[in-house]
Amino acid sequence: MLQKNYSGFILETGTDEAGRGCLAGPVTAAAVILPEDFENQILNDSKQLSEKTRVHLKPIIEEHAVCFAVTHLLPDEIDEINILNASMKGMQECILKLKHVPEYIIVDGNRSLNAKLGLKNTFGKQFSMEEIELLKSIPNQSIIKGDAKFLSIAAASVLAKTYRDEYMDQIHEEFPMYNWKKNKGYPTKEHREAIKKHGTTKYHRMSFRLLPEQLKLEF
The 10s digit of each residue's pLDDT in 152-174 is 999 999 999 999 999 999 999 99
Give yes or no for residue 212 having a pLDDT over 80.
no
Task: Read off the pLDDT of each residue in 114-134 and give the average, rounded to a whole number.
Answer: 90
How many whole angstroms separate alpha carbon 161 and alpha carbon 21? 13
* Amino acid 218: pLDDT: 52
How many whole angstroms separate alpha carbon 32 and alpha carbon 102? 10
Task: Read off the pLDDT of each residue in 72-76 and give the average, rounded to a whole number.
Answer: 97
How many whole angstroms separate alpha carbon 183 and alpha carbon 67? 30
Q: What are the two backbone dihedrals, phi and then psi, of residue 159, each rounded to the nearest 5 degrees?
A: -65, -45
* Amino acid 82: pLDDT: 95
Task: Read off the pLDDT of each residue in 112-132 and give the average, rounded to a whole number.
Answer: 89
How many whole angstroms separate alpha carbon 89 and alpha carbon 131? 12
Domain spans in the chain, listed from the N-terminal domain onward = 12-172
Closest CA to 45 of 143, 146, 148: 148
User: Strand, helix or coil at 105?
Assistant: strand
Q: Are 74 and 103 in contact (CB under 8 A)?
A: no
Q: Indicate the pLDDT class of residue 217, thresholds 50, 70 and 90.
A: low
* Amino acid 116: pLDDT: 85
Q: Is 169 annotated as a binding residue?
A: no
Q: Indicate the pLDDT class of residue 66, thresholds 50, 70 and 90.
A: very high
* Amino acid 169: pLDDT: 98
What is the pLDDT of the chain when averaged over all its residues?
A: 94
User: Checking phi first, is residue 85 left (phi over 0); if not, alpha (psi -120 to 50) or beta?
Assistant: alpha
Q: Indicate the pLDDT class of residue 121, thresholds 50, 70 and 90.
A: confident
The residues pairing with 18 across neighbouring beta strands, listed in sequence order, are 28
* Amino acid 219: pLDDT: 44
Q: 129 CB contacts (<8 Å, ≥6 apart)?
A: 118
* Amino acid 53: pLDDT: 97
Give yes or no for residue 211 having a pLDDT over 60.
yes
How many whole angstroms separate alpha carbon 21 and alpha carbon 86? 12
* Amino acid 118: pLDDT: 84
Residue 73 is classified by DSSP as E
Task: Read off the pLDDT of each residue in 60-70 and give the average, rounded to a whole number.
Answer: 98
Task: Read off the pLDDT of each residue in 93-106 and give the average, rounded to a whole number.
Answer: 98
| Axis crossing angle, helix 129-137 with helix 83-97, rounded to the nearest 10 | 90
Q: Indicate the pLDDT class of residue 124, thresholds 50, 70 and 90.
A: very high
Task: Fill in the amino acid letter for 74.
Answer: L
Task: Read off the pLDDT of each residue in 73-94 and give the average, rounded to a whole number.
Answer: 96
Angle subtended at Cα 109 by Cα 103 and Cα 113, rounded to the nearest 5 degrees? 40
- What is the enclosing helix (H) or strand (E) of 198? helix 189-198
Whether pTM exceeds 0.85 = yes
Where are any strands of DSSP class E within the chain?
12-18, 27-33, 67-73, 104-108, 140-143
Q: Is 108 annotated as a binding residue?
A: yes
User: Which of the following CATH numbers is that of domain 12-172: 3.30.420.10, 1.10.357.10, 3.30.1700.10, 3.40.50.510?
Assistant: 3.30.420.10
